Amino acid sequence: MAKKKKSVGKRRAVSKPAARSVVSARPERTRFSFVVKNLVLFIILFILFLVLYYISTDAIYKNLFWILAVLIGFVGVAFLLVLLIFVFMRIFRKY
């Protein structure tokens, strides 16, 4: 049986796309204000849950408000770290 010949096509030069600079979707000022707003919100919530923890008399509510205060406190600390990173990035970029 005869084998079929495979057609060898011409190879085309594949052009590489031009390198694009990565531009952030949000400006730095918008991200900074987002972090500050969330930090203030979580600090207020943390203080509210601590006040509710000290006011409440039932053990279930005390435990609930304590756990919520600890969780909200950790999220607040995370936003504080992000805020500090933004501040140091802004300081070191000037030099």
Report pTM.
0.66
Contact 45, 77 (CB under 8 A): no
Domain ranges across the chain: 28-80
Q: Give the residue with greater pLDDT, 67 vs 3.
A: 67
Cα distance from N-terminal residue to C-terminal residue, the chain: 77
Among residues of the chain, what percentage have pLDDT more than 70? 72
pLDDT over threshold 80, residue 25: no
pLDDT over threshold 70, residue 19: no
pLDDT over threshold 80, residue 39: yes
pLDDT over threshold 70, residue 95: no
CA atoms of 66 and 56, how far apart (whole Å) = 11
pLDDT over threshold 70, residue 5: no
Overall residue count recorded for the chain in this entry: 95
Q: Give the residue with greater pLDDT, 50 vs 2.
A: 50
